[in-house]
Amino acid sequence: MSKFSNPSEKRKAPEVKAQQQEGVEPDAKKPVELEQSKFNNVIRLVRNGSIASADQLRNAAFEQLKSLGLHRDEVQPETKTPGGSDQVDVGSVITWMGKVTKADKVAVQQLRKIRATAKARQ
């Protein structure tokens, strides 16, 4: 008989097994906020990129905040362009937005800042 009672057990990463033994849910929710450098890159894209990209991010942030039942215009837009990279994939930013929940306070503030900055760009 195999030392694994369940065939899927042997495929789990060691850190997942350790978390299960400690009583921690393996897929426990990690904060979804963007690192500061990535957030700066998104703001930079909104301020310097194409209007179409800024509109796409503004609309996605609006829809996510609306779906969460949160106020959308509580912050001032960024007025300075932060340093960083111009290589930002709009699709991955929108995917990130879809993962934000009400409990992710920092990520919600980032959504509001992105929306406000993109709205001011119009």
Let me know: does 90 contact 53? Beta carbons within 8 Å: yes
CB-neighbour burial class of residue 43 (10 A; exposed 0-12, middle 13-18, buried 19+): buried
Task: Give the distance between the most distant pair of CA atoms in the chain.
Answer: 67
Question: What is the identity of the amino acid at 52?
Answer: A
Higher pLDDT, 13 or 40: 40
Let me know: does 68 contact 100? Beta carbons within 8 Å: yes
Distance in angstroms (rounded) separating the CA atoms of residues 86 and 88: 6
Per-residue pLDDT tens over the stretch 56-87:
999 999 999 999 999 877 799 999 999 988 88
Per-residue pLDDT tens over the stretch 17-65:
555 555 555 555 677 899 999 999 999 999 999 999 999 999 999 999 9
Distance in angstroms (rounded) separating the CA atoms of residues 100 and 8: 30
